[in-house]
Amino acid sequence: MKKSEIFWQTYLNLERELLELSRYVYITDHKLVNNGSELKEENCPSQIETFSPHIADLLIRTCIEIEALSKELYFELGGEKKRGDTSLLFDEDCLKLIDIKCKTSKKVVIVSCSSFDLTNEQNYILKPLREAHKRKGTDWERAYQAVKHDRHSSISKGTIKNLLHALAALYLLNVYFRDDTFYTRYLDMNKLDMSMGSKVFSLRQPSQQHVVDAINGIEAVGNLSSEDSPYVMKYRDDIYKQVIEADKQARENRQKYFQSLPELTEESFIKQLSQAIERAKNNPTQRFLPMWELGIYRINKKIPRNLPFEERKRLFVNSPEFNSQIHQRNHHKIESELTEENIQSEIDSAGTRAGIELDKQFDSIRDQKAFAEGFCELIIDKGDVHYS
């Protein structure tokens, strides 16, 4: 059995004991008391502050595992102290190095067990290793040290809340030690189960930014990072190169097409482009995309403003730009609602959509690579993830 599997099975045993405990103690952060006829919110400790010798024992066993696993990760990540060195501390040495390499203090663990009733965000969206690299830097470690050294006087610190946070820390360390890589199509990313086999916790999905950047032709420089997930999401290296190349080709094809437009010899089109560029400069929310302007220009050229309303309406409702909207909006309703006041905005909107559709044609090869064939990988972020 792999070393990581031994640690994982021990974690799962502790998790099962927490779930067994939840059969007898309702795990909630509501402050409820029975006034004789119903449960009501009162100013009293919530159930997650429940403590007992059994919970204290689970806390100690969990933290002993944290100590052992943090040392394994320390050695794996190149820690300078040797095995057996009595000066090696699990927090100030091991968790500190792990945080430097993996940014574990920022990583989020979500309490996702459906039978736990936790409504306060700080009780179910946890950063269990934040400040854990400092001596007694977390509530769960302070409780662990107190209960371990003076069980009788400190038994009140052996709470469900401290146990839950410590177990979340152990879960997160196990995720790093297992170092599993997952593969998925970009379009199937949201189908991934981020619990990693836990019945209590799950992870945040990693940001899709590194993949989106590749789709937009932004080449990655240096190592890729993740904010609050232990995982970095990226394309497989071979797919990444194909997506970047396909995007370059799409841009070149789009540019060649645009430069060959007969409209570029028309002063009115050049003026429209200049005005659109100026609007985008003055208003950051305004986007300038040449193909959109081309679509607007072409439909307005076919349906001039100086025609009578009824003639404009007839030309518009029979135009391919208008009829391409049928799948998105009710054709007859739009036609019946056309007025002299709104027909121009409707014509411009149809032209914009025509420009968008034209623009999409140039990206079809890239999109095939990026979405249909776009296999991504989720890799544990240890500060060294990059495209080769």
Break the chain into its structural domains and give their ranges: 3-178, 206-388
What pLDDT digit, counting tens, does each position of 113-125 carry? 999 999 999 999 9
pTM of the model as a whole = 0.83
pLDDT at 330: 57
Q: What is the pLDDT of residue 284?
A: 82
Strand pairing of 109-111 and 125-126?
A: antiparallel
More reliable by pLDDT, 347 or 331: 347
Among 12-26, 38-52, 182-196, the range with the most confident prediction by mean pLDDT is 12-26
Interval 42-68 mean pLDDT = 90
Compute the average pLDDT of residues 299-312.
94
Output the pLDDT for position 98: 97
Q: For residue 312, is pLDDT > 90?
A: yes
pLDDT band at 219 (very low <50, low <70, confident <90, very high): very high
Residue 260 has pLDDT above 90, yes or no: yes
pLDDT at 336: 77
Instruction: Report pLDDT for 327.
Output: 43
Quick check: 46 pLDDT over 90? no
Pairwise CA distance, residues 363 & 387, whole Å: 23
Interatomic CA distance for residues 257 and 71, integer angstroms: 60
Instruction: Output the pLDDT for position 33.
Output: 54
**pLDDT reading at 87 higher than 70:** yes
pLDDT at 303: 95
List Cα–Cα distances, 335 to 127, 310, 314, in angstroms: 55, 12, 10
What band does 7 get if pLDDT is binned at 50, 70 and 90?
very high
* Helix and strand element counts for the chain (H, E): 15, 8
- Other Cβ atoms less than 10 A from the Cβ of 321: the count is 22
148-197: per-residue pLDDT in tens? Answer: 999 889 999 999 999 999 999 999 999 999 999 999 988 888 889 999 99
- Classify residue 347 by burial, with Cβ atoms within 10 Å: 0-12, 13-18, 19+: buried
Average model confidence (pLDDT) across the chain: 91
In the predicted structure, residue 39 carries a pLDDT above the cut 60: no
Q: Evaluate if residue 313 carries a pLDDT over 80.
A: yes
Structure tokens at 196: 């990693």
Q: Which backbone phi and psi does 133 adopt, to 5 degrees? A: -80, -5
Which of 386, 380, 388, 387 minimizes the C-alpha distance to 98? Answer: 380
As beta bridge partners, residue 33 has 40
Least trusted range by pLDDT, from 20-24, 281-285, 308-312: 281-285
Residue 368 has pLDDT above 50, yes or no: yes
Q: Per mean pLDDT, which range of 90-94, 218-222, 323-327 is the poorest?
A: 323-327
Helix (H) or strand (E) holding 232, with range, is strand 231-235
Residue 38 — very low, low, confident or very high, per pLDDT cuts 50/70/90? low
